[in-house]
Structure 1
Amino acid sequence: MTRQFFVGGNFKMNPATREAKQALVKVLNDAELDQNTEVVVAPPSLYLIPLQEIIRKDVKVAAQNCYYKDSGAFTGEISPGQLVDSKIPYVILGHSERRTLFHETSEIVAQKTRAALDKGLSVILCIGETLNEREAGETAKVCQAQLEAVVKVLKESDWSKIVIAYEPVWAIGTGKVATPQQAQEAHADIRSYLTKAVSSSVAEATRIIYGGSVNAANCKELSKLPDVDGFLVGGASLKPEFVQIVNSKKE
């Protein structure tokens, strides 16, 4: 099975101004992008609708987070239903910054995933280990534990709406990148776990993308790995080199 290559740009709490956002969009709108790659960008929630209105139609827009309730007294949150109503197709869930800075457990991430899928959203589901866990040889164990919580609340058919983003926490924003061998090994372990925990067809069809200081210099080599189906890009998604990353599968 050929899995469509996927490149997501997570802007995090950037850019700082509307002018910077417009400049960023202009770069993407003017670029020649690989039509065989699915491209998704995730701006801060304030910019979701304005960005969707000005960005080219072949680039989809994602929220960086959502809550698991439909509505109510949850100040500062956005519901999956509100995203769907605003025609936002994707949401990022379980990003390491949500897990570490905002103390989201794997169970909360699973709850959010279930709620997002129930409303019809597609999910970029983030998992990954810290430096201590990597050095202790616990990468596979940590990733499986984070996935297990989600596996418990999903049906097999739900997996067609999920992209798994493997993000080694020690490589996010640090300039450190997993070696191609480390990335491939982690992705192969994740696929192997999906075979056991869900099914071989889901394991074969699910896109597993890499996130961890991906840039124009390393994206070509990483894109050739058999179990790397794309990237979730942080800092480099705010720069013109994001276009090169999107086009990394182009010969």
Structure 2
Amino acid sequence: MSCVLRLTDVSKRYGALKVTDNISFAIEQGETYGILGPNGAGKTTLFNLISGDTRPDTGAIEFDGADIGTLAPHRRCIAGIGRSYQVPRPFGGMTVFENLMVGATFGGALKEREAAGLCIDVLERTGLKRRANQLASTLTLLDRKRLELARALATRPKLLLLDEIAGGLTEPETHELVDEIRRVKEQGVTIVWIEHVVHALLAVADRLLVIHFGKHLAEGSPAAVMDDPEVKRVYLGLEA
């Protein structure tokens, strides 16, 4: 196994607030790595640092063995880092298929014919083929979440960042989405997943990281992390 993503002592401060505080971890190829933490723990900031939307103040971020700390977001996407956003951001005036084509041609740097073939495959894999010609603005929440996933997959990511993709879904919808993410995992894509719907994350994750006020709180197997007294106290509100 090779290391796909490595963060070493990464910190980010906004004024007096240190939102990411010397975070370090490494993720192996094909692994699904879950990140938990209360609201305001710094989870989305961590994703923004990895995707390039935000630059760290200190520390190093490596992708596939190369330092990407100064690489622009679109260059990181072309290099193989795809992501979804907590609030779906489709191009509402475009069809589902056209949204995927944007991801494949601009994020994946594919020529139109190759991109079209990939997008058709992704539509089938994510259950959106029947919605291909539907305007993205008319989709249900579940299908908008699927579109977030599909558009990220259309960039051909080696590393997929999922930001609370199960949020707001019903229990049956969550199970559908988890099954789709499992299929992505089975194809060898490395996944980092931030999620508040804990049971969804536990169904897929190989390892968990819990952060609190930007700091590393616990890391390890899902069972060990969820049994950690500090995690129970801080994240679940339980006394050990």
Give the TM-score band, short-chain normalised.
Answer: 0.3 to 0.5
- Under a length normalisation based on structure 2, what TM-score does the superposition of the two structures give? 0.42
Report 1 or 2 for greater relative contact order, CA contacts < 8 Å, sequence distance ≥ 6.
2
- More helix per residue: 1 or 2? 1
